[in-house]
Each structure stands twice: as structure tokens, then as C-alpha cells.
Chain A
């Protein structure tokens, strides 16, 4: 099946990756300047939420966009990392940086377990297996004593980063989150542009061929899965610090669906797409919260529209329409 099917249609993705250096640098510069200035214009907690989800969506996109694996269970990594960070910081009194490390490590381990099971099947089965496994994590989170069931872990202290910076200050917290996001994004950028990333793309395009060229594709897929899970965990741990809360919401299948939507809306297989998608979805949700419209219906509707009419996503469409860069 993998040989015939391409989730991404024709290839705006490859173009972004190869994209002209100046354009990309310009985009980076503008984006960075905007991100630094943003907390003076917008509500910092909202921006931090966007950044956390943007990192989460980028991590997810590493799998779907660059390895062709649709994980429908990424909330498991996001949510359980939030629990780990919250528990380590609140109950064990760890410094926030170690809490985040523990969250990332925990998500990586969980990703290893999921990956070992899930990469045995491909395509739709892969999606169903990851969904089922993440539902198992949901039930564990519901039942284990340390997660406090429906209440979640509340009142997580933000603490002092490296013993120096008081994360209780909104601006300090914001710039920390921004730094974490940039670091995570840089890791993804590096991965996609590395020889490892090229092999992943080869697997996405034609797995039997990659095997025949001598690559042990299962190992590559597993490594990509673990990497994606760890970064999703980093995003989840950060979110737990920002909101001082780890709750069941973060491990539900709806959360897994939301990150799929962010990536789909922004553009699967583009580096910036998930960031745009995360920004839009978070904005939309905070807007909808003040109206009487049912959020899931709107989200579902966007899903349907994206799949039927708009499969390249916003950034994908833009790239495809740029003069001189379209095929």
C-alpha cells in the first residue's frame, strides 16, 4: 500500500525544505521579531498556549509530513508528559528544567513502547493502533492515583528556572516558552534536513524501494516516532508549567484529533504549516469559547472542509502558488 499512496499529493514539502535561503532567513527574522514583541501586544498566556501547541503540532508533523505516519495518539505523549512534569515539580519539588527533562524523557520512553507496537502495521492500521494505545493511556491516567483522576494535578508551581529566573513572572515564562519552542523547532529543522530526514522522506515516498536500497526502515520509523513523541512531551510538559495544571483533557482522543487538525489546516509536510495551524486553531477556540457555538462541530466542519477542498493546508497552498516555485 505504501508504495502507491502519497498522503501529501504533489510536493510542496520538498520545495520548502529546499527553499531559498534568503527567503527562509527573512521569514525567520520577521517571525522571531514578532514573537519577541508579541507579549507587549497580546495576552502572554494565550501566546504561550499557541507556542506549546505549535511545538506539539510540529512534532506531530515530523511523523505525518516527513515519514508518512499518521499517529492518532499523540495526546498520550503530550498529556502524560504534562502529568510527569506537574508531578515532578509539585510533589517532588524538582526545578522546572528537570521537570521538563523528566517529561521529555518519559514521553520518549512511552514513544518507544508505542512505536515498537505500532510500526508493525502501516497506514490506517498504524493510525488505529496509536489511537487505541493512547486510549489505554487515557484510562491509566483516569485510574492511577498520582494523576488525581478528574481533578488533574492542580496548582503546579512554576519555580525558578536554573535557580535564577522566576517563571512566576509572565514575561520570563513567555520568553522561556519561546526559547523552548525555538529549540524544538530547530531540532525538527535539523532532523528534516539531515541524511536521516532524507531517508524518512524516501520511506514516505516508497517504502519497499527504501528497503531494497538496504535501509532498515523500521528502525528509521521507530527513531522518528520516538523523536516526535519526545518533542510532543516537551510541549506537554511546558504546557503544564504554563497553565500550572495537568489534566485529563490533554490525554483525550479529542486532543489527538486537534493536533491532526492543526497540522492539516496549516499544511502537512511544511515546516511552518503546523505553527500557522496551531495559531489559528487556538485563536478560533478562544474566540468560540465566548460564543454559544459548539466547538466540536466547528472543528469537525473545518476537518471536513480541509480534507475535501484544502488538502495542502494554508502554507502548502501558499507555497504551491508562489511564482517560480511551483512545479
Chain B
């Protein structure tokens, strides 16, 4: 058995895989945050809570209706997206003319409501969610064992991330979206219904969070607290990557997940804070973030 840098390869690759999975979730969530921020100029604090709601919808579907994982993958993001559109229509849309910080405060309140309500109903302990039959088992890659489900999560989130990137950067709809980000008034003058587009963008962004929640359900337990602790790390990821580019959000998310995994191998005590330390260093060297531009 050979060692890599004094660490058995199983441990190293195992943690790297774990980091890659965490990174996939960071990427999915920071992608949603970036899409929403680009269009609405709102930092969606409720993003983590809606990720949790996505996971809970999956769990509720299974527990009460017997609908399995694949249905949940479809239904949960739809539900979360619709909730998001309702929130945008009734509340967020009233705040666009004000300081952006009010959007943060409002979504913070919403996050407390969602989290508090689920916590009140289901307690703090996690609910287990089974891995779907088709994805049980794993592959022996020689240097490590890869559970199928984890491989699926990494592949699925990469596909979603790059699909979103493609849709925004390379399609006509994406072009409208980017144009409306730059100058909503002008785009509206060209006959595009910008308010509807804004609602749909928010719905899409939070649907991504809901989808991430379903993907996460079999890996982490479904718990009311799963979202908020994650969202703060994702905020740090967003600050590191900068809000400038979609691709930046994806790359930074994955990269920081891996970095966290590596820290767990070599200096586990620091694994909780490494992302924040990186954030501080990036801010001191390049305040706009790695991929950002100063707004």
C-alpha cells in the first residue's frame, strides 16, 4: 500500500470525493444566488431555507404519498420554484426601488420563518431518506470505492450547472436575461415583459436550490437546519468568486469544496473555517473576488 504525502490514498480520495460533493452543492447554490442577484440585485438569504424545503418536499412525498426519488426530482423543484414566484410577486417586488439591503433583510426573515416552521413541526433531528434502488451499490475504482449515488450527484450537478451556464450565455432567452440585467428599461421598451422575467428568474434560481435539496436528501439527513448552515458558506463562496460570472460561481464552488476536503485530510481542525480564511485572503488581495468586477 503506497502513501500519498503521508496519507493513505483511500483517505485522500475519499475526502476529495466528499469535498467534490460538497462543492457540487456549493456550486448549485451559488449559481442560483448569482442568477438571482444578477437579475434582482437581491442576495437571497432564503436560498438555504428553500434548499431545505426541497429536501423536505422529497421526504414528504415519499412518506405520505409513496412517491419516490425520481418523482421528487421533478416535483420538489417545481414546488419550490412556485413558492419562490409567489414570494417574489407578493413581497420582493415591492423592494426593488429601495436599498438592496432590504431584500437581504426580507429574505432573512423568510429564512427564519421557513426554518422555524419546519423545526417546530419536525424537530431538529434529521429524517433519513433512502438512496433510490437504481443508484445503490458502488464501483471499485482500484484506488478507492465510489458509491454510485455520490457519482450521480457529482455528474448531475455538473450537468445542471453547465446547462444553466449554456442557457444563460449561449441561448436567445439567456441573451434577453443578460440584457435585462444590464438595462431593464431598454429591454422592456423592446417589448419584453421584464417583471414576468424577473419572477421567473427568481423562481428558477430557487428551483435550483430545491433540486439541490433533493439531490442532498439521501446523502445528508433531511433536517430543518441543513440549509442555513450551508448558505453562510455559500455566501463566502460567492464573495470569493465574485458575482460577475456564472462560470465563476461554478468553478469557485467546486474548487472550495475540494479545498475543504483536502483540509479535512491534512488539518481537520481547520476544515470548518478554511473557506472563510480563503475569503479573507481573497478580499485582501482582490476585493472584487476571483471572477468578479467591481459594481
Contacts from A to B (Cβ < 8 Å): 1, 5-7, 9, 70, 72, 116-118, 120-121, 123-125, 127-129, 131-133, 135-136, 139-140, 142-143, 253-254, 257, 260, 264, 294-304, 306-308, 311
Q: Report whether A124 and B280 are in contact in the complex, using a CB–CB cutoff of 8 Å.
A: no
Q: Does B109 contact A (CB under 8 A)?
A: yes
| Least distance between A112 CB and chain B CB atoms (Å) | 13
User: A5, A70, A118: which contacts B104 (Cβ < 8 A)?
Assistant: A70
Chain B interface mostly? helix
Q: Total A-B residue pairs with C-beta atoms closer than 8 Å?
A: 130
Q: Could you list 22 A-B pairs, sorted by A, with CB under 8 Å?
A: A7-B101, A121-B239, A124-B100, A128-B43, A128-B238, A129-B279, A129-B283, A132-B235, A133-B276, A136-B273, A260-B108, A297-B117, A299-B112, A300-B111, A300-B116, A303-B108, A303-B112, A307-B95, A307-B102, A307-B105, A307-B109, A311-B98
Q: Which residues of A contact B102 (CB under 8 A)?
A: 7, 307, 311
Q: Report whether B112 and A257 are in contact in the complex, using a CB–CB cutoff of 8 Å.
A: yes
Q: Which residues of B contact A136 (CB under 8 A)?
A: 273, 276-277
User: B104, B110, B111, B287: which contacts A120 (Cβ < 8 A)?
Assistant: B287
Chain B, residues 76-105, CB within 8 Å of chain A (1/0): the string is 000000000000000100110011111011
User: A72, A135, A296: which contacts B112 (Cβ < 8 A)?
Assistant: A296
Q: Report whether A117 and B113 are in contact in the complex, using a CB–CB cutoff of 8 Å.
A: no
Cα distance A83–B39 in the bound complex, in angstroms: 42
Q: Does B260 contact A (CB under 8 A)?
A: no
Q: Report whether A297 and B43 are in contact in the complex, using a CB–CB cutoff of 8 Å.
A: no
Cα distance A136–B275 in the bound complex, in angstroms: 9
Count chain B CB atoms within 10 A of each CB in A72, A302, A307 and give the residue with the most.
A307
Q: Report whether B117 and A121 are in contact in the complex, using a CB–CB cutoff of 8 Å.
A: no
| Least distance between B2 CB and chain A CB atoms (Å) | 32
| Least distance between A40 CB and chain B CB atoms (Å) | 36
Q: Does B194 contact A (CB under 8 A)?
A: no
Q: Which residues of A contact B100 (CB under 8 A)?
A: 1, 5, 123-124
Q: Report whether A303 and B105 are in contact in the complex, using a CB–CB cutoff of 8 Å.
A: yes
Q: Which residues of A contact B116 (CB under 8 A)?
A: 294-300
Interface positions, chain B 216-258, Cβ under 8 Å from A, are: 228, 232-233, 235-236, 238-239
Q: Report whether B101 and A124 are in contact in the complex, using a CB–CB cutoff of 8 Å.
A: yes
| Least distance between B106 CB and chain A CB atoms (Å) | 4
Closest residue on chain A to residue B271 by CB atoms: A139
Q: Report whether B238 and A121 are in contact in the complex, using a CB–CB cutoff of 8 Å.
A: no
Q: Report whether B232 and A131 are in contact in the complex, using a CB–CB cutoff of 8 Å.
A: yes
Q: Does B269 contact A (CB under 8 A)?
A: yes
Cα distance A210–B105 in the bound complex, in angstroms: 27
Closest residue on chain B to residue A143 by CB atoms: B269
Closest residue on chain B to residue A120 by CB atoms: B287
Using A128-B235, A307-B106 as known contacts, say yes or no to A297 and B112 having CB atoms under 8 A apart. yes
Q: Report whether B272 and A124 are in contact in the complex, using a CB–CB cutoff of 8 Å.
A: no
Q: Does B295 contact A (CB under 8 A)?
A: yes
Cα distance A117–B285 in the bound complex, in angstroms: 10
Cα distance A308–B91 in the bound complex, in angstroms: 7
Q: Does B141 contact A (CB under 8 A)?
A: no
Q: Which residues of A contact B277 (CB under 8 A)?
A: 136
User: B43, B269, B273, B276: which contacts A124 (Cβ < 8 A)?
Assistant: B43
Q: Which residues of A contact B283 (CB under 8 A)?
A: 117-118, 120-121, 129
Q: Does B119 contact A (CB under 8 A)?
A: yes
Cα distance A139–B117 in the bound complex, in angstroms: 25
Cα distance A81–B283 in the bound complex, in angstroms: 25
Q: Which residues of B contact A143 (CB under 8 A)?
A: 269, 272
Closest residue on chain B to residue A258 by CB atoms: B112
| Least distance between A126 CB and chain B CB atoms (Å) | 9
Cα distance A111–B295 in the bound complex, in angstroms: 25
Q: Report whether B106 and A253 are in contact in the complex, using a CB–CB cutoff of 8 Å.
A: no
| Least distance between A12 CB and chain B CB atoms (Å) | 16
Closest residue on chain B to residue A64 by CB atoms: B101
Q: Which residues of B contact A254 (CB under 8 A)?
A: 112
Q: Does B65 contact A (CB under 8 A)?
A: no
Q: Which 9 A-B pairs have the closest CB atoms?
A: A303-B109, A300-B112, A296-B116, A300-B113, A294-B120, A297-B116, A136-B276, A132-B236, A120-B287
Using A7-B101, A257-B112 as known contacts, say yes or no to A294 and B117 having CB atoms under 8 A apart. yes
Cα distance A295–B113 in the bound complex, in angstroms: 9
Cα distance A287–B276 in the bound complex, in angstroms: 37
Q: Which residues of B contact A123 (CB under 8 A)?
A: 99-101
Q: Which residues of B contact A311 (CB under 8 A)?
A: 98, 102
| Least distance between A72 CB and chain B CB atoms (Å) | 8
16 more contacts with CB within 8 A, not counting A7-B101, A301-B109, A307-B105, are A7-B99, A7-B102, A116-B284, A121-B283, A128-B235, A135-B233, A139-B273, A140-B273, A253-B228, A260-B105, A260-B108, A296-B116, A296-B119, A297-B117, A304-B109, A307-B106
Q: Which residues of B contact A294 (CB under 8 A)?
A: 116-117, 119-120
Cα distance A232–B106 in the bound complex, in angstroms: 24
Q: Which residues of A contact B91 (CB under 8 A)?
A: 304, 308
Q: Report whether B287 and A127 are in contact in the complex, using a CB–CB cutoff of 8 Å.
A: no
Q: Report whether A128 and B239 are in contact in the complex, using a CB–CB cutoff of 8 Å.
A: yes
Cα distance A19–B56 in the bound complex, in angstroms: 52
Cα distance A127–B277 in the bound complex, in angstroms: 17
Cα distance A133–B113 in the bound complex, in angstroms: 24
Closest residue on chain B to residue A140 by CB atoms: B273
Q: Which residues of A contact B99 (CB under 8 A)?
A: 5-7, 123
Cα distance A136–B92 in the bound complex, in angstroms: 30
Q: Report whether A132 and B279 are in contact in the complex, using a CB–CB cutoff of 8 Å.
A: yes
Closest residue on chain A to residue B94 by CB atoms: A308
Cα distance A308–B232 in the bound complex, in angstroms: 24
Cα distance A128–B101 in the bound complex, in angstroms: 11
Using A139-B273, A294-B116, A300-B116 as known contacts, say yes or no to A124 and B104 having CB atoms under 8 A apart. yes
